[in-house]
Structure 1
């Protein structure tokens, strides 16, 4: 264990690196406070200027004189309520909707207190100023928090401000959790080693994570490895009493404890934790694939696709003209794809390859050693000159809007697979067929063709099991960035 711990200690240049990291992370609440104060100050300026200059507000022209007492109290109370609602707790930063929810709830309470207080005190607060302050302040506060989170995620991806993590548990579960933390770099967790149950004799897990000791020494190992967080995975302890004592030992070193159940790829909205008799029970809602096929999503698809066809009609016409002018071949390429419940349909695309592309496919697959999954080449010789332009910005997929109107596809959903791909599906992969395939989806906004086959499948199954209309809207917004950036498009 000594050699393993020494190796872990050398990950930082000196013992002071941990204190520097902790100081930087401790500034997060202060940074959030400054961000909120700046947003509220800007709100005050804009609300006063708007009330004075906008002509549809009636009453005295200058309201600044009325705000000598109420104005400062309102904005100081706003920040105080954000703090009271836990908006500056370190646990809310970085991930999850709690941070935004707390800021929003505090803002709504501020509006209620000011409105009711001025009414009871019969203070003539300008209604125009009040409406502008609330209407501008909430978006500015949320926008500031969003910017702060994006900056934090960027720092994490660059390897900065990360938490050093030790995972305790059976080697197989250690590897599962480590894989998730390694994949989601924006979370800011850096796995420095593992602690396994007594009797495990290997020096490393199957994925190569170094075993620093056993669970009887967990507090000592975590301290020597300079761990900020210890994850308790499945199989780490024989009894709940052992786990509780380990948490007490880690508490003395100010090491945070995270209990990681053997559940992955479940959205927060499907999880409810209810403590019963001191035992935290995790309730998982059923998969939401059936909700993804109901009338609300279909109505959204119809209206959205119809609007996009109208707006993008000049682009559709230009793309069709370029494809036809290149070699006078067919404008559209119809390919049989598998839709919801395994029903096949003709998926429409602008033709981006030479006319005999399908005939050349087998030869290319044998040349590249293709073994299964989705076949794509970064420099496919079959792609035409206008086809490269169409693929770069995903314009070749615009005719699929008509597939959406016909009910064969959705605006957002899993990638429509080929029938030959479906033949190789196992039971897990067939869950992708529970919903209509989409023009865009998690796989596209997460990297498109740069993703491995297994990762694309994982994202599609996650979408099916955790569907929500909010997630659809988020994917559509992110699609714009993915298309403009052309990441993974070829």
Structure 2
């Protein structure tokens, strides 16, 4: 499964969502006899870019699959409705097509995912799966790999067990069983028609690895070396190459190559559209800030941006002071520095609206880890492991931590640690779908979040 079959499996699964959504759209076009093909083609390209690659749901429960599909579609639908109403393009499509599409698209997605789940075992069996595999090395790395094989049966791999030179009393077997010693691998593989051999041995045992590889030359099994990269927290781990030298990315930005272009273009388009729509609100808020207390309308504060470089972030002033020094206390409940107008602005996040200008400047993104004051960064980078990794991406107006309850003051180290954990989870799992979901959650939460002041 991890060869050509695995690549095809992942490709087909990634197409389930976009194909289902596009099939319902064009099916409705034909059903209602609408001949505006060019309009549907443009909408189809936009929808495909938002839904591809589709999320893997083959290991999810039925309820989990329903939740994932519905939440993802709500985010996409909200974005399409927003654009359609803002630009007037929704008028190009019959109302009955759009209304039916809103409920038929997620229904078709769910049906397709469940059908894919039913068909996959038969396809795997017809293709010669499952493949039998053994793990050489019953250490933490080998057990971790065995656990992943056991947890994902749809990958089409069946684990026979481990090989290790240590006595079974010294081993924590976990998944599988101890088959024999390293010297037994070649014979066992030939006699039992093993398809895959995973070498989960540390690099320090290089002579032993070379000897083992030499003994396996007389077999037809595929041999994979499992690098010991689980000693660190992986962020966007992937294989790459420098010339002809293979390298493993252990910590990298999710916004490289095409992903970076998609992220930047969406930031520019959304920021321009939002600024245009909220321009009356900006004028009203600016007037209220100016009349509420002496001081500038816009508060500028130094924050850390992409790659830990300092940027200047804009906010509507919500306090009687404009602090930006080496010691900046976080805002607290009942903070005397907050003005009456400022309390409302902070509660509703209206004070953050000028940061859409930061997004247009390229300093920030709409979704990403929230930027902290430089003084707070310098303090927490010494206290929290992996703190600065969050700066592998541009800071955002809203983020994964904020929609999960970590918005506002982080008065304890534990709360800041939790916020950073969510930031790193965002880096690991970024997708356009996740950004849309966070934006929708932000809009729903902004007026009822009790943690902001």
**TM-score computed with the length of structure 1 as normaliser:** 0.44
